[in-house]
Structure formats: C-alpha cells, structure tokens
Structure 1
Amino acid sequence: MDIQVLGTLAVRENGVSIVPTAPKPRQVLALLALHADQVVPVTVLVEELWGSKPPRSARTTLQTYVLQLRELIAEALSHGEDARATPKDVLATVPGGYRLRTREGSVDFREFELRAGAGYRAMDAKDYRGAARRLADALSLWTGPALTDVQGGIRIDMEARRLEEARLSVLDQRIEADLRLGRHRELLPELTVLVNQYRMHESLYGQFMLALHRSGRRGEALDVYQRLRKTLVSELGLEPSAALSRLQRSIRMAHPETPSEAASNTAGRRLLGRTA
C-alpha cells in the first residue's frame, strides 16, 4: 500500500485507489493513513468524526465506514497477485481499534522526514550545497497543504499543523543553505511570495532582508522590516524580535550580519499568522 498525505489524500493498493468519495469514510481513512502500521483506537476515531458529543450510534456507524473501506480494498486486491491477502489483512481489527497495514509500501510523510533528516545533518556538517539539494528533495514531496481535500476533525487538523510546521522548518533551512551559497538574487522571487503568504514569520522576513541587501537593494530591505513591524504592532501589539532588529540596524549601517548570525537567529520562528 502506498500512502500520500502531503497534498491531496491518496491511498493505493496494487496501484488502485481506495479513497472513498464520501466525507466521513474519507476522514477515517485519512486518520488511519496518518498512523499507518499503528493501532488507532476506536475512541480516537470517534473523537475525530464527532468531537466531544458523538451520537449513540457512533461505534456502529464507524464499523459501517470500515466495511466500506474494506470493500474498496477488496476491489484493489483483486488486481494483485497475492490471492491470500484479504481486506482484513490490510485494514485489521485489533483489540480496541484498527490498523492500516502498508505491507512495505511507501508513506510520503515518512520519506519526507528521512530526506529532511539527511538535509539537517548536511547543514550541521556545513555541507551547504548538499543540504540545499537534500532539503529541496524533501520539499518536492509536497504537492499542497497536507490533506487539503479532507474535512478534518481535531486529530487530523492537529496532524496537518504538525506536518506544516515541519515543512516550514525544512523550507527555512533550505533557504538558509542557499543564502550561504550566495544565491541571493535567485531567492528573491520565492521570498517575495513567502513573506506575503506568511505575514508574521520573522525568519522568512530576515532571510528576505538579507537577500535584498546582498542584491544591492538596501532600501527595499529596510522597507521590508518596516512592513513587518507595522503588521506585528497593529495585529499583535508586538515589536520585531531583538535578532531581527539587530539585522535591520546592521543593514542600515551597511554591514549585514552573516546568515548564521541573522537569518538563522530569527529562527525563534513566529508562526503567529498567515494569509488565507
């Protein structure tokens, strides 16, 4: 079984999709996919589907959704060569819950974590070229916001936020690696989009300021700082961090700090707001 959640939900057995069109069974499959090869308790599935006030028929209805998923799995298994495998082998009932078995298939968010880890290790070793390549490779697995086509409850929303935070951390490090490699001008189009998307993400703003200044656009770099400051003060009543303020002063004095002193120091990342 191959699972993709870094974008739209895709779950395939023998290359055949088993993703239902109905929202609730789709939600069940998404939560099982996020915990592939692990037991997901019935109580967790019920909370995901109905929150803190499930109907009396919640467990029976959940069983119906599981049966619907197994029907899709049965159809997918019929296209394979392993005649012994059954839907219950793939979506197993275990004490207290259910487990979706990948049976050595691929899971994109786990591959993302492996590639990101290799990139972080390259950064630690000061292999910035290798880090930029590996971190970009990790980011290439994303095709959109995690589970963008699934109407999630509390559990799925929490996992989606965790994955997005991981993606932003990798993105931050990939940009820092590119800054260290002197790719300032190449970064400007991407950073222009990112600071408009993440309007209070200080690390991205610091990197944008550095890229602008090192591209000979000092005035624009200072304008970027003032734009962030205005947003933070008006929406949160906060001033920019001390690290970003130091970067602004160093640019104003025409002696910018290095990426490690500035861009990565702003990595006390404020993810306090983003555009819709």
Structure 2
Amino acid sequence: MLTLDAEGGQIEMTPRQATVLAMLASCLGQSLTRDRLIHGIWGDDPPLTAVNSVQVTISGLRRQLRQAGPGEFVLTARQGYALSTSTVTTDLLVMDAYRAIAADARSVGRDAAAIEALRRAIDLWRDDPMPDIRAPFADEFRLKAVERHIETLTEWIDANIRCGRSAIVIERIRDSLSRFPWHQGLYARLMACLHNSGRTQDALDLYRQLRSALSHSFGTEPSPLVARLHQAILRNDYPVELA
C-alpha cells in the first residue's frame, strides 16, 4: 500500500490508485480520457481487463480522497477524468509560479527578489518526482521534470552571476553535477563561476577534465557553449556571463 499526506493524516492507496493519481497530477488542469490513462499505465500492451480496472481504480481513489476533506478531488470531465485545481496543486506548478514571480521581479530591476524566488523554486526539487511509480507515463514525466528543474536552476545561477555572486553558487552547481554529470550547461556555469571568483586555473582544469571525459566516454568534444566560454577565460574576459 502507498500513502498520500493530507491535512487529516495519511490516506492509504493501492499502487494502482497511486499510479492513476500521479498521472492525473502530472497533467493537472487537463482532462485525461480513459484510453490515455490505460496507455499511461500499461503502454501498448494493456490487459483485456484494462477498462474495468481503470473504472474500479477511479472509484476507489475517489473514496480514499474523500478522507482528505469535503468536495470531490477527482472530477469527470470531457469524457475523461481530472483533478480539481481548486483543491490540488503540485510542486511543478508551484515552481512555475515562483519562476513567474522571478521574471516579473527581474523586469523591474529587482534582482535580489528574482534570485530569492528562483531559489525557492529549485529547493522544491526531489531527486525522483514520482518515487515508487512504475508505469510508462512516469518515465516520460521524470525526463520533463528534470528539464524544467535544470532550466530553473540555470536561471538562478545566471541571475547570481549577473549580480556578481558567482562564488556563492559554486557548491550548488557541484552538487547538481553529481546528479546530472553530463550536463554541459552546468559545466559551463561552474567554469564561469570559478573564473569570476579568481579561480581561473580551476576553471581551465575543469575544462580539460570535461574534454577528456567526453572524448573517452563518447568520442565527442565539449559543446559550443563550453568551447566559447573556454576561449573567453583564456582571453581573461572578466566577468564572463552566459545569459
């Protein structure tokens, strides 16, 4: 059994109920047809009992979620099902809200407020946004979630670089590279922050390490972004920025 935290405590769910809830939450604000739910759960080879299984799962999920408070959490809409946006939110939606706040703050020159909003956004990240969910849709969702997290992370890094705060983000970038070891955009930003913090030799050493690792593992060269930054550091451009 899996559980969902709610104001009244924990709600027990079967793995199938948790999978359906996760899929609905990943598309919050959209209606998912029964066929789309079936494909998301079983892929291209659903069992003969798939239609009945989805209906039973939805019914059971509704009963369980009623423990979380008044009103319906799972709605029937447009020949499908959707979560009520008035009672449910997700970390990704909150992250997007913080990104919007940051964009508004930056547009009026409030750089410190933009940096703080982006920090709150990246602090929402969990290494696996759907732990214990094993279904075809979840793998695709994880990839999209990682992309959005890295986009937000790089916005935060770039905002700090523009404000002359390169040194304070170095360890956060290193930590992120331990989780996303081949993301060259993060390597480029770490090189920039090291150089801007007076650690030019460390930045050049990092470039050589990356180039050697890429050649050995993939037979490729660093990306154009990393290569351009490397040349800027060799010219001793200061400070270097990426956005």
- 8 A Cα contact 1:128 1:180, kept in partner: no
Is 1:63 equivalent to 2:55 in the alignment?
yes
Q: Does residue 114 in structure 1 map to residue 106 in structure 2?
A: no
Aligned in 2, Cα 1:29/1:148: closer, same or farther, shift over 3 Å? same
Residue 162 (structure 1) aligned with residue 144 (structure 2): yes
Matched residues, number: 242
In the alignment, does 2:85 pair up with 1:93?
no
Normalising by the residue count of structure 2, what TM-score does the alignment of the two structures yield?
0.86
Name the structure, 1 or 2, with higher relative contact order (CA <8 Å, separation 6+): 1
User: What runs of 5+ residues in structure 1 fail to find an aligned partner?
Assistant: 1-7, 265-276
User: What residue number does 1:269 align with?
Assistant: none
- Where 1:46 maps in the other structure, the secondary structure is helix
CA distance in 2, matches of 1:11, 1:32: 17
Separation of aligned partners in 1, 2:66 and 2:187:
50
TM-score between the two structures when normalised by the length of structure 1: 0.77
Instruction: Please say if 1:38 is aligned against 2:30.
Output: yes
CA-atom RMSD in angstroms: 2.5
Change (3 A) 1:180 1:50: same
Question: Following the alignment from structure 1 to structure 2, what is the Cα–Cα distance between the partners of residues 93 and 146?
Answer: 26
> Counterpart in 2 of 1:243?
225
Residue equivalent to 1:75: 67
Name the % identity.
Answer: 26
Query: 1:138-161, CA deviations, whole angstroms, 9 ceiling, x for partnerless residues?
Result: 22333443123322x232322222
Confirm whether residue 214 of structure 1 aligns to residue 196 of structure 2: yes
> CA separation of 1:166/1:256 partners in 2, compared to 1, >3 Å: closer, same or farther?
same
Counterpart mapping for 1:226-265 below 5 A: 226-256=208-238, 258-259=240-241, 263-264=242-243
> Is the alpha carbon distance of 1:100 and 1:144 closer, same or farther for their aligned partners in structure 2, counting shifts above 3 Å?
same
- Mapped to 2, the partners of 1:155 and 1:231 lie a distance apart of 32
- Name the structure where helix makes up a greater proportion of residues: 2
Whether the aligned pair in 2 keeps the contact of 1:146 and 1:160 (CA below 8 Å) is: yes
